[in-house]
């Protein structure tokens, strides 16, 4: 089930006694957890029947002790464990403690809705607890959105909010903001505060409201690299060096890594008419890849990808000689790419 389908069922009062929400992408885990916390019980019921615990401050005995209580003046009680990845889950063995934990997940109390928000990692599917919850409750795995799916995700998010956005603006957001869905959603919602629903969100609005420089951003750096415009590359890198918080090196390298990986893939696409769908990019970008492919043959692209990996390590303090700041690293990297 998707997050939207789970929330739809909850709205329809179709509950599961246990929800294990796990995965590397926290956005949907938070979305489901927040909805249950805010909407499942009314304000009068919450006082007696809603318990919120945090994994690092509790243990499984406390969680299940709360879960085994019966609701007061309500059909259900809600127990939410946030940051459940920090919870002491206990050993899965034949001890009384192990049996106590497993027995609850095999036969959870129907009047309790237990939510386990296990973020930034996948729960171990080999564990007996996982298998028990899979039978008695609901497990939702929230995987990161792949970079090639970010543009349609942004467009759908904007559409659901009743706004319109053009594709170039979506691409700019995807390139600049990365794959953190919570960050993207927050930035879009802030932008919407300053934009009418009658107006189509374009690149100018994105640049103005999200703080992206119109001339000096990763998107423009890719274009400059594609045509080997040394002067423009240097101007952009100098801007990045003077604004490191707005243009973190790790984000710049990740974007360039994705760009040159797609460029390598472009070289090996037999039918270039299918390039847009094969690369997962809007069709208007293909001309840029055509130009870049003429300027960077496959051998050079392999070399660039190797350089990006090398400088990624250097930016993290590994395999680096001397005390070179991120701005100097980027200047050195771009010089090697275009020459």
pTM of the model: 0.74
The CATH architecture one would assign to domain 154-210 is Orthogonal Bundle (1.10)
pLDDT tens by residue, the chain, 339 residues: 899 999 999 999 999 999 999 999 999 999 999 999 999 999 999 999 999 999 999 999 999 999 999 999 999 999 999 999 999 887 776 677 778 889 999 999 999 999 999 999 999 999 999 999 999 999 999 999 987 789 899 999 999 999 999 988 998 888 888 788 999 999 999 999 999 999 999 988 998 888 777 788 888 899 999 999 999 999 999 988 888 877 788 888 988 999 999 999 999 999 999 998 898 888 888 999 999 999 999 999 999 999 999 998 888 877 655 567 788 889 999 999 998
pLDDT for 119 equals: 96
Strand, helix or coil for residue 297: coil
Q: What CA–CA distances, in Å, run from 186 to 38, 155, 243, 250, 331?
A: 19, 14, 22, 21, 31
Topology (CATH level 3) of domain 3-141: Rossmann fold (3.40.50)
Contacts of 66 (CB under 8 A, 6+ apart): 51, 53, 79
Every domain of the chain with CATH number 1.20.272.10 lies at 218-338
pLDDT given for residue 210 in this prediction: 85
Asked if 241 and 330 count as a contact pair (C-beta separation under 8 A), the reply is: yes
Q: Are 16 and 138 in contact (CB under 8 A)?
A: yes
| pLDDT at residue 244, as a whole number | 81
Closest CA relative to residue 12, chosen from 26, 28, 1, 25: 1
> What pLDDT was estimated at residue 255?
87
218-338 carries CATH number 3.40.120.10:
no
The pLDDT value recorded for residue 94 is 64
Q: Are 219 and 175 in contact, with CB atoms under 8 Å apart?
A: yes
E strand or H helix at 137 = none
Instruction: Render pLDDT for 147-167 as a digit per residue (tens, 0 to 9).
Output: 778 989 999 999 999 999 998
pLDDT at position 133 is 96
List, by residue range, all CATH 1.10.8.60 domains of the chain: 154-210
Token pair of 51, please? 């318990």
CATH 3.40.50.300 domain extents, the chain: 3-141
Q: What local confidence, expressed as pLDDT, does residue 323 receive?
A: 64
Range list of β-strands (E), the chain: 18-23, 50-54, 77-82, 112-119, 138-141, 164-165, 200-201
């Amino acid at each position: 089930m998707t997050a939207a389908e789970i929330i739809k069922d909850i709205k329809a009062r179709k509950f599961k006694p246990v929800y294990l929400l796990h995965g590397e992408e926290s956005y949907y885990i938070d979305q489901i957890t927040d909805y249950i916390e805010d909407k499942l019980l009314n304000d009068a019921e919450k006082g007696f029947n809603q318990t919120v615990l945090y994994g690092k401050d509790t243990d499984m005995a406390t969680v299940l002790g709360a879960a085994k209580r019966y609701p007061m003046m309500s059909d259900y009680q809600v127990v939410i464990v946030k940051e459940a990845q920090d919870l002491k889950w206990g050993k899965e063995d034949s001890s009384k403690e192990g049996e106590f934990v497993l027995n609850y997940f095999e036969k959870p109390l129907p009047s309790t809705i237990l939510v386990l928000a296990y973020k930034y990692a996948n729960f171990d599917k080999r564990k007996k607890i996982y298998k028990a919850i899979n039978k008695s409750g609901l497990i939702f795995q929230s995987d990161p959105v792949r970079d090639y799916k970010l543009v349609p995700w942004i467009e759908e998010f904007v559409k659901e909010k009743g706004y319109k956005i053009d594709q170039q603006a979506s691409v700019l957001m995807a390139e600049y903001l990365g794959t953190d869905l919570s960050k993207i959603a927050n930035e879009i919602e802030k932008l919407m505060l300053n934009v009418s629903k009658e107006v189509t969100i374009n690149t100018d609005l994105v640049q103005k409201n999200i703080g992206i420089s119109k001339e000096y951003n990763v998107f423009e750096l890719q274009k400059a690299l594609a045509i080997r415009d040394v002067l423009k590359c240097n101007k952009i890198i100098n801007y990045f060096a003077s604004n490191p918080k707005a243009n973190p090196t790790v984000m710049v390298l990740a974007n360039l890594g994705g760009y040159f990986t797609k460029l390598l893939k472009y070289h090996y696409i037999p039918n270039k008419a299918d390039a847009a769908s094969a690369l997962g990019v809007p069709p208007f970008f293909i001309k840029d890849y055509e130009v870049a492919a003429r300027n960077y043959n496959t051998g050079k692209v392999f070399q660039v990808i190797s350089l990006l990996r090398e400088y990624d390590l250097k930016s993290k303090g590994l395999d680096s000689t001397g005390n070179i700041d991120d701005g100097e690293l980027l200047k050195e990297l771009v010089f090697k790419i275009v020459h």
